[in-house]
Amino acid sequence: MSETIGFIGLGQMGAPMARNLAQAGFALRVWNRSPDKALALQQEGVVVVKRPADAATPGGIVITMVADDAALKEVAFGEDGFAEVLGANGIHVSMSTIAPATTRELATRHGKLGTAYLSAPVFGRPPVAVERKLWICLAGAGGAKARVTPLLKAMSQGIYDYGEDAEAANVVKLAGNFMIAAASEAMAEAYTLAQKAGVDRVAVAKMFGETLFACPVYQNYGKQIAAFSFEPALFRLALGLKDLNLVLGASQENQAPMPFASLLRDRLLSSVAKGRSEIDWTGIGLAVAEDAGIEPEPSR
Ligand code: NAP
């Protein structure tokens, strides 16, 4: 616990993850684009810096949890980016959901500076992050993985290692988010069928969540979809669209057709077009209900 850790991106996920590291005794230097989101951590004694570059120490560790690929490239290699400062023997632990191709690019660029790049995307929504119960998919160079393991343990309930090729962890994360979106569409269609046939959709979701599909995705997302409860968002629908586009990119790159992913991407795209970017991504259930002529309640 002797070294200072840089942490960049204090959104819905990053803020509780950083807080858990601080509470586990790690010394942090945090940065967020909107400074107000860093205030609570500052009041708890965490050092807040003015630029991404100030979060890094030479040869140290920087963790990133920003929204998307473009933001990640900006905080690492943009004008005020941390990559040059981190430099030789440093480690960048990238925890956002991003394209495998972005990982390839960043790993190469960091490699030229002598920095190791690890992919460590996560499963679990913000309340899960608060409880240190995330699942982490990890990939990258072995020595670097060993060095960051205590940090990852302080944020998670389990780490799955996918080997030395950092892109592998991104592929697993995209595969998982595709499965969650597919389950959401399936639940929305099934519960809408029940409702149209005069059966209580909430009761149907409850039964399946307790029996055939007794797992977190069907239980938690199922409850939201059945009750049309999409606000406040735990995972913004706009980010869900980002992820389905990443899934389709990976599908194209690997020549692995995913016809259902196209349908899901279009559900999300049409939801964004209808002004639903900021509701939860399970809000694709609204479009399913609308297609069946149901006026979704409570709203939108
Ligand atoms: P969020 O609440 O929207 O936070 C996004 C973060 O990225 C904020 O700190 C934001 O800064 C920062 N950011 C966005 N654009 C930026 C830019 N151009 N330059 C610098 N910083 C920028 O998102 P989140 O839910 O925490 O998600 C973060 C990542 O985790 C995403 O890759 C997401 O796909 C992934 N993820 C999310 C969940 C979930 O359930 N929410 C679960 C697993 C994985 P500002 O505060 O200034 O906007």
Q: What is the pLDDT of residues 229-283, one digit of tens each?
A: 999 999 999 999 999 999 999 999 999 999 999 999 999 999 999 999 999 999 9
Q: CB 44: neighbour CB atoms within 10 A?
A: 11
Which DSSP symbol is given to 283?
G
**Nearest protein CA to atom 31 of ligand 1, as residue:** 67
- Section 25-29 average pLDDT: 97
Backbone region of residue 20 per phi and psi (left: phi > 0; alpha: psi in -120 to 50; beta: other values): alpha
3-class state of residue 94 by DSSP: strand
Q: Which residues are catalytic?
A: 173
Q: Which of 153, 157, 182 is nearest to 258 (CA)?
A: 182
Burial per residue of 56-75, b for 16 or more beta-carbon CB atoms within 10 angstroms, e otherwise:
bbeebbbbbbbbbbebbbbb
Q: Please report the pLDDT score of residue 135 as a whole number.
A: 98
What digits encode the pLDDT tens for the residues 195-237? Answer: 999 999 999 999 999 999 999 999 999 999 999 999 999 999 9
What digits encode the pLDDT tens for the residues 76-131? Answer: 999 999 999 999 999 999 999 999 999 999 999 999 999 999 999 999 999 999 99
The number of the ligand 1 atom at minimal distance from the alpha carbon of 68 is 32
The number of the ligand 1 atom at minimal distance from the alpha carbon of 98 is 32
Q: Is the CB of 71 under 6 A from ligand 1?
A: yes
Give the H or E element holding residue 4.
strand 4-8
The average confidence (pLDDT) of the chain is 96
Give Cα separations from 278 to 112, 232, 244, 271, 273 (angstroms). 38, 8, 16, 10, 12
Q: Please report the pLDDT score of residue 106 as a whole number.
A: 98
Max CA distance (Å), the chain? 64
3-class state of residue 29 by DSSP: strand
pLDDT band of residue 298 (cuts 50, 70, 90) is low
- Residue carrying structure tokens 């570059």: 53
Q: Is the CB of 17 under 6 A from ligand 1?
A: no
Q: CB 172: neighbour CB atoms within 10 A?
A: 18
pLDDT band of residue 295 (cuts 50, 70, 90) is confident
- Residue 297 confidence (pLDDT) above 80: no
pLDDT band of residue 296 (cuts 50, 70, 90) is confident
Gap from CA of 68 to ligand 1 centroid (Å) = 7
- Section 123-151 average pLDDT: 97
Q: Is the CB of 31 under 6 A from ligand 1?
A: no
- Per the CB < 8 A criterion, the answer to whether 122 and 151 are in contact is no
Q: CB 42: neighbour CB atoms within 10 A?
A: 12
Q: Please report the pLDDT score of residue 2 as a whole number.
A: 67
Q: Please report the pLDDT score of residue 221 as a whole number.
A: 97
- Residue 299 confidence (pLDDT) above 50: no
- Per the CB < 8 A criterion, the answer to whether 229 and 277 are in contact is no
- Residue 300 confidence (pLDDT) above 50: no
Gap from CA of 67 to ligand 1 centroid (Å) = 3
Q: Is the CB of 34 under 6 A from ligand 1?
A: yes
User: What whole-number percentage of the chain has pLDDT above 70?
Assistant: 98
